[in-house]
């Protein structure tokens, strides 16, 4: 029997990527090049609380012929928990949104110094300059502090830094400024974008997702390395129930990090198209 030509695999995208604009180890342009070389049809750069890498990434995507959607991973919190929110399709030049990002930047720098102070109180001889050597022009994150601890031989690996010092409840953990999820929804919506809950399978039950959806949450990151098959099935049922958008990505941070490969999640290109359609609508 003669077989016809094999169908091309469906186009895939990665909508959760980090660069040196926050706590990744590759520049924004290098992230895009790696995505193109991996055969991805599209991507979003979602650095933490910043749009500093957007222009560089968008320009490289245009040169490479890769679809690109503006993005960022924004920090929010509720009592006892951090809430990470993926914003897509917003106007990155929006004044209110940029003022929001400026406050994030100021808070991250103050938080970085406070973490160093707490580490020194624990007897760890670490300076803020040691942390600056890791984050450069980007605002510091806990990952940068962890890398400084590794570089100074205070711990053997980044995971140990989090286990001993930097995880919630640890001696050097410092909470971010108070930003409730509804505040993020409002600011991003006013800038023409949408907001999806990042890696919800790790900590958030359906009750909270339903409440956030009533407050303005637009969707859920269904495909993420931390989400099991059972979790993905549960989240997709919740998406259908609430009429939410779907997203997914590798949470890539670059070579030498815990998530060092991009394009690992089977995220269909149509999810990216649906996100953009919602922004346009």
Average pLDDT for residues 39-65, to the nearest whole number? Answer: 97
Q: Is residue 69 part of a domain?
A: yes
- Which residues neighbour 278 within 8 Å (Cβ) at sequence distance 6 or greater? 89, 194, 218, 245
Q: Is residue 150 part of a domain?
A: no
Q: Is residue 266 part of a domain?
A: yes
Average pLDDT for residues 215-230, to the nearest whole number? Answer: 95
Nearest C-alpha neighbor of 199 from the set 240, 228, 170: 228
Average pLDDT for residues 74-82, to the nearest whole number? Answer: 90
Q: How far apart are CA 75 and CA 73, in angstroms?
A: 7
Q: Is residue 52 part of a domain?
A: yes
The per-residue pLDDT for range 141-166, each reduced to its tens digit, is 999 999 999 999 999 999 999 999 99
The answer on pLDDT for 81 being more than 50 is: yes
Provide the edge-to-edge strand list for the sheet that holds 81-88: 71-78, 81-88, 194-197, 219-223, 245-248
- Residue % of the chain over a pLDDT of 90: 86
Which CATH number goes with the domain that contains 75?
3.20.20.140
Q: Is residue 252 part of a domain?
A: yes
Nearest C-alpha neighbor of 20 from the set 62, 48, 59: 48
Cα dihedral 109/110/111/116 (nearest 10): 90
The per-residue pLDDT for range 11-28, each reduced to its tens digit, is 999 999 999 999 999 999
Q: How far apart are CA 213 and CA 135, in angstroms?
A: 34
The pTM of the full predicted model, rounded to 2 decimals, is 0.89
Q: Is residue 230 part of a domain?
A: yes
The per-residue pLDDT for range 240-274, each reduced to its tens digit, is 999 999 999 999 999 988 888 999 999 999 999 99
The answer on pLDDT for 7 being more than 70 is: no
202 falls in which pLDDT band (50, 70, 90)?
A: low
Say what the pLDDT of residue 1 is: 47
Q: What residue numbers bound the domain in which 237 lies? A: 13-94+191-210+219-280
Average pLDDT for residues 34-38, to the nearest whole number? Answer: 97
Beta strand pairing status for 81-88 and 67-68? unpaired
- Domain count for the chain, please give it: 1
Phi and psi torsions of 71, nearest 5°: -155, 170
């Amino acid at each position: 029997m003669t077989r016809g030509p094999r169908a091309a695999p469906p186009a895939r995208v990665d909508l959760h990527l980090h660069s040196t604009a926050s706590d990744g180890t590759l520049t924004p342009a290098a992230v895009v090049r790696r995505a193109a070389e991996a055969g991805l049809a599209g991507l979003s750069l979602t650095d933490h609380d910043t749009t500093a890498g957007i222009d560089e990434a968008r320009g490289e995507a245009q040169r490479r012929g890769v679809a690109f959607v503006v993005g960022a991973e924004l920090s929010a919190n509720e009592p006892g928990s951090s809430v990470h929110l993926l914003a897509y399709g917003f106007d990155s030049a929006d004044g209110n949104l940029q003022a929001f990002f400026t406050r994030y930047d100021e808070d991250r720098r103050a938080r970085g110094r406070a973490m160093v102070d707490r580490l020194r109180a624990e007897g760890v001889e670490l300076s803020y300059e040691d942390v600056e050597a890791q984050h450069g022009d980007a605002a510091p994150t806990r990952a940068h502090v962890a890398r400084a601890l590794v570089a100074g031989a205070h711990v053997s690996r980044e995971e140990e830094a989090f286990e001993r010092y930097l995880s919630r409840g640890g001696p050097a953990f410092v909470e971010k400024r108070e930003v409730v999820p509804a505040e993020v929804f409002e600011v991003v919506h006013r800038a023409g974008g949408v907001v999806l809950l990042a890696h919800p399978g790790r900590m958030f039950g359906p009750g909270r997702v339903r409440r956030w959806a009533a407050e303005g949450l637009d969707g859920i990151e269904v495909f993420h390395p931390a989400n099991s098959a059972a979790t993905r099935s549960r989240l997709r049922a919740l998406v259908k129930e609430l009429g939410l958008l779907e997203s997914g990505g590798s949470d890539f941070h670059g070579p030498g990090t815990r998530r060092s490969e991009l394009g690992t999640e089977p995220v269909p290109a149509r999810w990216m198209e649906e996100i953009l359609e919602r922004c346009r609508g």
